[in-house]
């Protein structure tokens, strides 16, 4: 369950309490006895602990000594991770509520701490019959004179690089991240392409965004050969979902479009994946989920910006009618593609969506896709690979938002020479290169279907993790939602 972050006008003595301080000298007077101060000092100075827990029998007090990091991004990320650790301790004690006390007027650090605590509280228990280990934390209250409860951006001492650090916005975005993680963690036995689109319709009703779902007949009329081709081996029909937030006060006439890969399960098709590689392939729709939930958060926050999410969805299976290596598909924009590997299917459905995005005459298009294993091998699971065309300034802004939210981007080149690797003897393009630079050639393939400022994010590494990693948890991480939201907030400001 998502704990709600709120402000409190007073610090209650008998509540579980967290004190954030820049040094032990800043511990508030009247809270600790001399012996308690001595214990805290020993824990920090001799045992090198940044988090010190003290049991008052009827409640707990935690002291977090903020790391001395010159980088704002590193300091706030350390606070998020500390918040996650303390949240785990509170859950182990079956605590339902905690008050975070800002004694030094450090609202940014306090909010980041609360954000990490809330994000780390996520659990996916839908299919668990044993609910005994369900987290108990429900309320996170903040006592801080530096925070203003009125409008985001009015708080004192919030660094300009983190305008989205407002407790109301954090609650909205965390809710979006939780919903995104839920979708990613759902098994394919539930989350078919049709069910995914129905979930999008529910999200649209909740946030006020318009949602349109195109069925197979509509996709055939639009000649979306990539999406229809990948779907041929499935017994479930494909869908193409459009989510649109267009407020009357939007600062942009041309929309910013998020495109998300929505492969609800990827077996590899006729180029069947080996068993271990197929294990977590329910996560292959992480890009579509992130695109949708970014729009959801933007709409919930009523941000004055015109945004659209495009989400082609299907599973990729080796059914009787499945496409095979050597087949040639005609895409939505008329480009022909020779399929050399049916496991390079994500770019086929994205190509149709990127072509469709042209009708919006977009200001910018950003796609998110769990696209290549090459990206994971190159960068691992701590960042995503990014490429841009005609969007160098926007890419710098998005990279900055990546550092702000710790959803970081490593830029790869989009040089023309890489396009030679995907030329086909029989068609306009082939869907996979020779093996080298696999992440880049995938990006070059997608570029062929764009004529606007374009950013491609290969999130194959950080979208889903097998081992718990602080507040990112285990399983679907919701990578991209927080970054895109921060990016939009900064563009508005």
Catalytic site positions: 273, 347
3-state secondary structure 177-208: HHHHHHHHHCCCCCCCHHHHHHHHHHHHHHHC
Do 480 and 190 form a contact (C-beta atoms < 8 A)? no
- Ordered strands of the 60-65 beta sheet: 4-7, 139-143, 97-102, 17-21, 60-65, 51-55
Q: Look-up: residue for tokens 């989009």?
A: 414
Question: Tell me, what DSSP letter sits at residue 463?
Answer: T
Q: How far is CA 319 from CA 273, 279, 315, in A?
A: 14, 19, 11
Q: Which of 175, 174, 173, 152 is nearest to 163 (CA)?
A: 152
Collapsing DSSP to helix, strand or coil, 259 comes out as strand
Give the separation between CA 179 and CA 356, rounded to whole angstroms.
26
Give the separation between CA 276 and CA 357, rounded to whole angstroms.
35
What stretches of 147-187 show up as alpha helix (H) in DSSP? Answer: 167-185
Rounded to a whole number, what is the distance in angstroms from the first to the last CA of the chain?
32
Do 61 and 48 form a contact (C-beta atoms < 8 A)? no
């Amino acid at each position: 369950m998502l704990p709600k972050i709120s402000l409190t006008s007073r610090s209650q003595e008998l509540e579980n309490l967290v004190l954030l301080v820049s040094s032990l000298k800043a511990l508030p007077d009247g809270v600790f006895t001399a012996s308690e101060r001595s214990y805290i000092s020993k824990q920090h100075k001799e045992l090198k602990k940044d988090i010190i827990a003290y049991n008052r029998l009827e409640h707990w007090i935690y002291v977090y000594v903020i790391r001395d990091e010159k980088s704002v991004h590193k300091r706030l990320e350390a606070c998020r991770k500390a918040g996650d650790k303390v949240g785990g301790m509170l859950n182990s004690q079956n605590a339902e509520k905690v008050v975070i006390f800002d004694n030094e007027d450090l609202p940014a650090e306090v909010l980041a701490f609360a954000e990490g605590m809330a994000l780390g509280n996520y659990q996916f228990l839908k299919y668990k019959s044993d609910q005994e280990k369900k987290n108990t934390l429900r309320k996170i209250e903040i006592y801080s004179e530096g925070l203003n409860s009125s409008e985001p951006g009015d708080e004192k001492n919030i660094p300009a690089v983190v305008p989205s650090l407002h407790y109301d916005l954090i609650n909205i975005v965390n809710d979006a991240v939780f919903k995104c993680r839920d979708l990613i963690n759902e098994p394919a036995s539930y989350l078919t392409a049709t069910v995914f689109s129905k979930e999008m319709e529910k999200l649209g009703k909740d946030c006020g965004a318009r949602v349109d779902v195109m069925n197979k007949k509509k996709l055939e009329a639009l000649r979306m050969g990539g999406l229809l081709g990948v779907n041929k081996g499935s017994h479930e029909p494909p869908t193409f979902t459009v989510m649109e937030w267009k407020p009357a006060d939007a600062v942009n006439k041309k929309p910013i479009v998020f495109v998300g890969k929505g492969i609800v399960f990827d077996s590899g098709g006729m180029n069947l994946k080996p068993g271990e590689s197929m294990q977590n392939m329910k996560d292959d729709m992480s890009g579509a989920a992130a695109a949708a939930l970014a729009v959801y958060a933007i709409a919930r926050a009523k941000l004055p910006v015109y945004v659209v999410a495009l989400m082609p969805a299907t599973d990729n299976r080796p059914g009787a009618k499945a496409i095979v290596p050597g087949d040639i598909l005609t895409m939505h924009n008329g480009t022909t593609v020779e399929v050399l590997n049916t496991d390079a299917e994500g770019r086929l459905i994205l190509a149709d969506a990127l072509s469709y995005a042209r009708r919006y005459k977009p200001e910018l298009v950003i796609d998110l896709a769990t696209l290549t294993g090459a990206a994971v091998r190159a960068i691992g699971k701590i960042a995503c690979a990014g490429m841009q065309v005609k969007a160098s300034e926007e890419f710098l802004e998005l990279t900055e938002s990546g550092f702000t939210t710790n959803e970081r981007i490593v830029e790869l080149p989009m040089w023309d020479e890489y396009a030679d690797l995907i030329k086909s003897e029989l068609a306009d393009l082939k869907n996979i290169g020779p093996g080298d630079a696999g992440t880049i050639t995938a990006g070059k393939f997608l570029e062929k279907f764009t004529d606007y400022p374009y950013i491609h994010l290969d999130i194959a590494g950080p979208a889903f993790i097998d081992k718990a990693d602080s507040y990112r948890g285990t399983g679907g991480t919701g990578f991209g939602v927080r970054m895109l939201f921060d990016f939009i907030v900064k563009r508005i400001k």
